[in-house]
Amino acid sequence: MSDPSEHGGPAGGASERGMPGAGLVKGLAVTLKTMTSRSTTQQYPDVAPELPPRSRGVIALSEENCTVCMLCARECPDWCIYIDSHKEEVAVPGAARPRQRNVLDKFDIDFSLCMYCGICIEVCPFDALYWSPEFEYAEYDIKDLLHDKDHLGQWMATVPPPPAHDPNGEPAKEETAAARKVAAARPTPPVVRPEPGADPGPAS
């Protein structure tokens, strides 16, 4: 014979499920609470929305920090970053031969393909890419969502300043390296050794 609880018998009856219509009463209570509470509507675009501090709007480019290492373009899962550059020689005083450096010619991001994962910002070793909270860059044509380096550079003005360093946290690598350099450059006092046969003085 089968267990009556499998068919909703006395073992699994209404005592475990509660009173009939309890779910309807709970739903109506939520509706009544919402109806009696005052709604707060932000009049966008007349009133700017309060965005969270780590909101992801658009990616800004600091061109002077970019060394054309191509890490961002290689790590992008959508392949929406297009970079082009050339090499030029730089004369260094005192050097035997001129050095070469990369010059950025093109840095485009296609925001119609970007999924805002932030990998390009995380892997950039020279802090050339930043998150900007700006999100009002909709276009009528999808082709206009391809932003060049000049357009990306204009978003740098909207990048918020970094948060203050936690005094109880670990110091930054730059601070540690600077303190180590200062300690290495500080002259060490000479060690005075007593002459042989001299009275060392009273023992402490």
CATH code for the domain of 76: 3.30.70.3270
How large is the greatest C-alpha to C-alpha distance in the chain, in angstroms?
A: 108
Q: If you compute the radius of gyration of the chain from its CA atoms, what whole number of angstroms results?
A: 33
H-helix segments, the chain: 14-17, 22-36, 71-75, 119-123, 149-154, 173-185
Please check whether residue 175 lies inside any domain of the structure: no
- Which pLDDT value is given to residue 176? 84
Please check whether residue 50 lies inside any domain of the structure: no
Please check whether residue 3 lies inside any domain of the structure: no
Please check whether residue 187 lies inside any domain of the structure: no
Is the confidence at residue 164, as pLDDT, over 80? no
CA distance 20 to 191: 91
Please check whether residue 74 lies inside any domain of the structure: yes
Total domains in the fold of the chain: 1
Which of these ranges, 4-13, 18-27, 138-147, has the smallest mean pLDDT? 4-13
Q: In this structure, what token pair is assigned to residue 135?
A: 């999100």
What pTM did the predictor assign?
Answer: 0.62
- Which pLDDT value is given to residue 198? 60
Residue with tokens 């050095």: 99
Tell me what percent of the residues of the chain surpass a pLDDT of 90. Answer: 44
Please check whether residue 170 lies inside any domain of the structure: no
Between 79 and 38, the more confident residue is: 79
Average pLDDT over the chain reads 84
Between 22 and 109, the more confident residue is: 109
Domain that holds residue 73: 58-158
Please check whether residue 47 lies inside any domain of the structure: no
Tell me what percent of the residues of the chain surpass a pLDDT of 70. Answer: 84
- Which pLDDT value is given to residue 97? 84
